[in-house]
Amino acid sequence: MPSRGPASTRASTRSWLIWLTAASVYVLAVFHRTSFGVAGLEAADRFGVGAAALSTFTVLQLGVYAVMQIPTGVLVDRYGPRNILTAALVFLSAGQILIAVASTYTLGLVARGVLGLGDAMTFVSVLRLAANHFPARQYMFVTALTGALGFAGNLAATLPLTLLLAGPGWLPTFLGAGLVTIVFVGVVQWRVHDTPTAKVVESPSVPAGEIGKQVLGALRVPGTRLGFWTHFSTMFGQNVLVLLWGVPYLVQGQGYSVTTASSLLMVFVVGAMCGGPFVGTLVGRRPEVRMPLVLGFLGGSALVWAVLLSWPGTVPIGVLIPSFLVLSFGGPVSSVGFALARDYNPLPRVGTATGVVNVGGFCATTITALLIGVLLELTGGDFRIALSSVVVVLAFGSWRMFVWYRRARAAVFAAQARGESVPVRLRRHRWDVAREQERVAATV
């Protein structure tokens, strides 16, 4: 059960400042990623497209993001997070400048694809940097705090972006965002160091076959698979609302104004920013509660969607706010998946394993966003039917997560029986015994 990080029990102030600089890149990436959440209606008018074509913008961007997660993890392990963050900023800037000047649907798609490429390189790089600079006990807190800070970018992409689009307009808003992003390259080059002792750390070049073995090695670890399905199940529900369908659902499906809808989406931001440090501190101090916390969130999320989809007529703001607040914890809770990747993989493979985990939530988001768009087209704009796809994906992901939860627990118990050290010692339950009996029966 091999993950090891810095030997010290607490990170230095310098490491915190380095992480904060890198996390600022993630804030920028989240802003760019979520900008279509409130610009969706303007984009539909600008490019002359309907719901299904509009969803393609987000599906393409998130598809590129998901596909690039494992390659990004390999690249980060090979070239170091500092170099990959620099490349990410270049792609983010180019994508946003291109979307600012795009006047055709095809060019808009190309721009969002480039943006997705830059976005894909940020989060895994920041977490790999954190793994280099922070000991295991602080890693979960730093991971959750990174996600919480990212929602500052989300915050800027809600009401403030709505006001900018209504004022200066499309071109100045997105062109300015792209130019600010490229300036930040200099900040990263000046402040970020890959490790506490070296500015840039690159691993020796390895053959493509060895890279494949590294990815397969991460996939063979039950903790990595559990992290993938944890991430898959917990974060996509809020993502489909924040990234694309929140404003259309509230405006076209519920009858609220665009300003009110944008303000309601800020609940996701505030909830995640408050929930991130809380979840990180709790799990950092008591890592044994992390999976019960995930299971509790999934139950609460299912209840929220049942209420929203069964409510007769317009859902009142007094119901929407607490519902969105519950869903907003999906981001902080999903960070448990990254802690699992770090705990059960050797440090040189943590970037790759983190990339595998990060595929989960964005794969679920991509699938669900596309399903919603298609169902809206087929039903003539019935959001109740379209958003039911969220429940289907949630049920599937929760089932797969529980399967790998049992398998990961069995692997930990086997390691304990061999006398090996494990990141978190577990207490047996009756269903663990049943799982072990199944394994014995399968080998007979």
Residue-wise pLDDT for 98-136, tens only, equals 988 888 888 988 988 998 899 989 988 998 888 888 887
Single-letter amino acid code for the residue at 86 = T
Confidence label for 269 from pLDDT (cuts 50, 70 and 90)? confident
Confidence label for 242 from pLDDT (cuts 50, 70 and 90)? confident
Q: What are φ and ψ of residue 89, in 5° steps?
A: -65, -40
Choose the weakest-confidence range: 59-68, 217-226, 425-434.
425-434
Contact 403, 224 (CB under 8 A): no
**Distance, CA of 58 to CA of 247 (rounded, Å):** 14
Predicted confidence at residue 234, as pLDDT, reads 95
Predicted confidence at residue 9, as pLDDT, reads 61
If one compares 45 and 401, the residue with the highest pLDDT of the two is 401
Q: What are φ and ψ of residue 194, in 5° steps?
A: -60, -40
Percentage above 70 pLDDT, the chain = 88
Please give the domain boundaries of the chain with CATH numbers for all domains.
13-195+208-443 (1.20.1250.20)
Over residues 308-324, mean pLDDT: 93
Predicted confidence at residue 399, as pLDDT, reads 95
How high is the mean pLDDT of the chain?
83
Single-letter amino acid code for the residue at 80 = G
Over residues 369-384, mean pLDDT: 89
Over residues 34-40, mean pLDDT: 73
Q: What is the pLDDT of residues 335-366, one digit of tens each?
A: 899 888 888 888 778 778 888 898 898 889 88
Contact 391, 375 (CB under 8 A): no
Predicted confidence at residue 370, as pLDDT, reads 85
Q: Is the pLDDT of residue 271 over 70?
A: yes
Predicted confidence at residue 204, as pLDDT, reads 60
Over residues 279-295, mean pLDDT: 86
If one compares 53 and 377, the residue with the highest pLDDT of the two is 377
Q: Is the pLDDT of residue 272 over 70?
A: yes
Predicted confidence at residue 444, as pLDDT, reads 39
Over residues 300-310, mean pLDDT: 95
Over residues 11-26, mean pLDDT: 88
Q: What are φ and ψ of residue 382, in 5° steps?
A: -85, 100
| Ordered DSSP codes for 146-207 | HHHHHHHHHHHTTHHHHHHHHTT-HHHHHHHHHHHHHHHHHHHHHH--SSSS-S---PPP--
Q: Is the pLDDT of residue 210 over 80?
A: no
Contact 353, 341 (CB under 8 A): yes
Predicted confidence at residue 5, as pLDDT, reads 53
pTM: 0.76
Q: What is the pLDDT of residues 419-443, one digit of tens each?
A: 677 677 667 766 666 555 555 444 4
Predicted confidence at residue 239, as pLDDT, reads 87
Confidence label for 8 from pLDDT (cuts 50, 70 and 90)? low
Predicted confidence at residue 398, as pLDDT, reads 95
Single-letter amino acid code for the residue at 352 = T
Over residues 399-426, mean pLDDT: 81
Percentage above 90 pLDDT, the chain = 27
Predicted confidence at residue 440, as pLDDT, reads 46
Structure token digits, residue 88: 């990410």
Single-letter amino acid code for the residue at 116 = G
Predicted confidence at residue 442, as pLDDT, reads 46
Using H for helix, E for strand and C for coil, what is the string for 85-122?
Answer: HHHHHHHHHHHHHHHHHCCCHHHHHHHHHHHHHHHHCC
Nearest to 136 by CA among 332, 293, 350: 350
Structure token digits, residue 293: 């916390």
Q: What is the pLDDT of residues 143-186, one digit of tens each?
A: 888 887 877 776 776 667 777 777 787 888 888 888 989 988 88
